[in-house]
């Protein structure tokens, strides 16, 4: 932590003195160092605190490069918020891990697999897993077909309309449609834990995985498609442990890149439009590089813009938007959602993970949010090593993805995030109930036998 604080102070001095490239490079190096250290200490490349450092601190370093004209001078509140976000997360994570048992941040994490050994121990009971996958697949398919019939089109086949997916929503139904992104990871968990091949179950599970990739593509949603693939990769890496195949990961990321390119073409954005929005200082920078760069750094600029122009904090109303949505209160009490978002440019509407926390309570809100997120992350990190429920990997994968993309948006203020957690909770309950049922049947069988 001392090294990070010194590096952060040096990068601040370099930035305010106009040496933006050095400031950005220094902070990205610090992010890399923090990530590698947690990787070595924990034994896993997906250590949650390491992922958060790599993403949030690394993204901040990219923003400090100031390669676009939309990049402005950061306020003191912005600098302090970014600094304390990671400092509080780091300290609370370490404190919770230190009291959570010997699987803490400084210890080698237990290897998640061999799954074969867990299968032999009957640790997993897979009918509940199969039933949850089959049930979600049916719900997703019905929801997607209902939306297509109701709206009269499939976004992938619409040409010349860049935001066709934006209007592909039937209120209350679309949550079930986009839950398809969980299916490939759930199918992966099935094939990891069920070692007895049964085509009557394996084929439907494989079809569910295909459905999970197909729905985001048909919706022409790059974000959902990337979410589905990245979540599957994260779950695979965590479950495979030392047996992870780099070839498979590389193939998955290559497919993700190709699909991203295809969906970019389908959505109809041309290079001239994107370059005009991004306002890159180097007008000749290829869109292939400028687009991902801007998708990261504009979030930090939007946060800085927020600290400059917000007049009143919302005292928790913005962060509780999922509650207002699921309870229907937002439809009856306008003042619960009467706030607006503050963006540098109307076309660049993504934010960092702490945007809503600052919107609600300012710097104290950022610190409280970071502390809560760190405590939850530390608990999940430990649970994935000791839980008897296979879908804990799905929960872990989602949290890892949100931390890996912490620069992108205020994930925990999105209703869909909590909807995914809800679906995961139901799947975990079904797997747990199946395990308890098998255990109960065994006890009854032994009693009758005796």
SS3 of 99-139: HCCCCCCCCCCCCCCCHHHHHHCCCCCCHHHHHHHHHHHHH
Q: pTM for the complete prediction?
A: 0.87
Phi, psi of 252 (to 5 degrees): -65, -45
Exposure of 269 in the CB half-sphere (CA atoms within 13 A): 21
CA distances from 194 to 203, 282, 317, 318, 379 (A): 13, 53, 44, 43, 27
According to the model, what pLDDT value does residue 292 have? 82
According to the model, what pLDDT value does residue 340 have? 81
Q: Do the Cβ atoms of 73 and 29 come closer than 8 Å?
A: no
According to the model, what pLDDT value does residue 259 have? 65
Q: Return the closest-CA partner of residue 297 out of 283, 319, 280.
A: 280
Q: Do the Cβ atoms of 185 and 233 come closer than 8 Å?
A: no
Q: Do the Cβ atoms of 162 and 274 come closer than 8 Å?
A: no
Strand, coil or helix: 68 = strand
Neighbouring CB atoms inside 10 A of 167's CB total 11
The answer to whether the Cα torsion of 173, 174, 178, 182 is positive or negative is negative
Q: Which stretches in the chain have pLDDT values below 70?
A: 99-125, 159-165, 242-246, 248-249, 252-253, 256-257, 259-273, 434-450
Spatial separation of the C-alpha atoms in residues 72 and 443, rounded to whole Å: 67
Spatial separation of the C-alpha atoms in residues 120 and 340, rounded to whole Å: 55
Helix ranges, 153-286 (H): 174-178, 183-193, 199-218, 222-240, 246-267, 271-278
Q: Which tokens go with 244?
A: 């992870």
Q: Which tokens go with 186?
A: 């759930």
CA terminus-to-terminus distance, the chain? 61
According to the model, what pLDDT value does residue 337 have? 81
Name, in order, each residue with C-beta under 8 angstroms of 68's C-beta and a sequence gap of 6 or more.
278, 279, 280, 281, 293, 294, 297, 298
Q: Which tokens go with 204?
A: 């439907």
Q: Report which secondary-structure segment, H or E, holds 7.
A: helix 2-16
Spatial separation of the C-alpha atoms in residues 246 and 383, rounded to whole Å: 26
Spatial separation of the C-alpha atoms in residues 136 and 182, rounded to whole Å: 9
Q: What is the 3-state secondary structure (H, E, C) of 421-436?
A: HHHHHHHHHHHHHHHH
Spatial separation of the C-alpha atoms in residues 194 and 180, rounded to whole Å: 21
Q: Return the closest-CA partner of residue 412 out of 360, 338, 332, 357.
A: 357
Exposure of 96 in the CB half-sphere (CA atoms within 13 A): 20
According to the model, what pLDDT value does residue 123 have? 47
Spatial separation of the C-alpha atoms in residues 206 and 438, rounded to whole Å: 25
Spatial separation of the C-alpha atoms in residues 233 and 250, rounded to whole Å: 10
Q: Do the Cβ atoms of 406 and 429 come closer than 8 Å?
A: no
CA distances from 60 to 177, 246, 261, 352 (A): 34, 28, 26, 10
Strand, coil or helix: 281 = coil
Spatial separation of the C-alpha atoms in residues 194 and 126, rounded to whole Å: 7
According to the model, what pLDDT value does residue 260 have? 66
According to the model, what pLDDT value does residue 361 have? 94
How buried is 175 (Cβ within 10 angstroms: 0-12 exposed, 13-18 middle, 19+ buried)? buried
């Amino acid at each position: 932590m001392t090294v990070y604080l010194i590096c952060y102070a040096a990068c601040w001095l370099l930035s305010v003195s106009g040496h933006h490239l050095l400031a950005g490079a220094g902070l990205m190096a610090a992010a890399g160092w923090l990530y590698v250290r947690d990787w070595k200490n924990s034994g896993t490349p997906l250590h949650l605190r390491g992922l958060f450092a790599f993403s949030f601190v690394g993204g901040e370093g990219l923003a400090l490069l100031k390669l676009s004209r939309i990049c402005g001078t950061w306020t003191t509140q912005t600098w302090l918020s970014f600094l304390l976000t990671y400092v509080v997360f780091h300290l609370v994570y370490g404190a919770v891990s230190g009291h959570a048992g010997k699987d803490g941040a400084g210890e080698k994490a237990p290897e998640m697999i061999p799954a074969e050994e867990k299968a032999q121990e009957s640790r997993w009971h897979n009918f509940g897993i199969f039933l949850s996958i089959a049930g979600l697949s049916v719900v997703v398919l019905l929801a997607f077909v209902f939306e297509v019939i109701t709206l009269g089109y499939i976004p992938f086949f619409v040409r010349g309309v860049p935001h066709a997916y934006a209007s592909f929503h039937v209120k209350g139904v679309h949550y079930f449609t986009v839950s398809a992104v969980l299916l490939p990871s759930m199918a992966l968990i099935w094939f990891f834990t069920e070692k007895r091949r049964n085509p009557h179950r394996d084929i439907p599970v494989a079809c569910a995985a295909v459905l999970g990739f197909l729905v985001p593509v048909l919706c022409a949603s790059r974000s959902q498609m990337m979410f589905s693939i990245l979540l599957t990769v994260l779950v695979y890496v965590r479950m495979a442990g030392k047996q992870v195949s780099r070839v498979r990961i590389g193939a998955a990321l290559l497919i993700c890149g190709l699909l991203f390119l295809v969906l970019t073409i389908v959505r109809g954005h041309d290079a001239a439009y994107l370059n005009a929005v991004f306002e890159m200082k180097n007008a000749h920078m290829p869109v292939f590089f400028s687009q991902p760069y801007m998708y990261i750094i504009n979030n930090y600029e939007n946060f800085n813009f927020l600290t400059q122009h917000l007049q009143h904090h919302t005292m928790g109303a913005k962060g509780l938007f999922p509650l207002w949505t699921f309870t229907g209160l937002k439809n009856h009490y306008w003042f619960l959602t009467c706030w607006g978002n503050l963006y540098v440019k109307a076309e660049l509407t993504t934010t960092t993970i702490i945007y809503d926390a600052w919107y609600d309570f300012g710097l104290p809100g950022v610190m409280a949010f970071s502390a809560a997120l760190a405590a939850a992350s530390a608990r999940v990190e430990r649970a994935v090593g000791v839980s008897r429920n296979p879908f804990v990997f799905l929960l872990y994968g989602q949290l890892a993805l949100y931390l890996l993309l912490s620069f992108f948006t205020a994930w925990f203020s999105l209703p869909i995030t909590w909807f995914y957690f809800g679906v995961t909770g139901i799947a975990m309950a079904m797997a747990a109930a199946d395990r308890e049922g098998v255990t109960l049947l065994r006890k009854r069988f032994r009693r009758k036998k005796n």
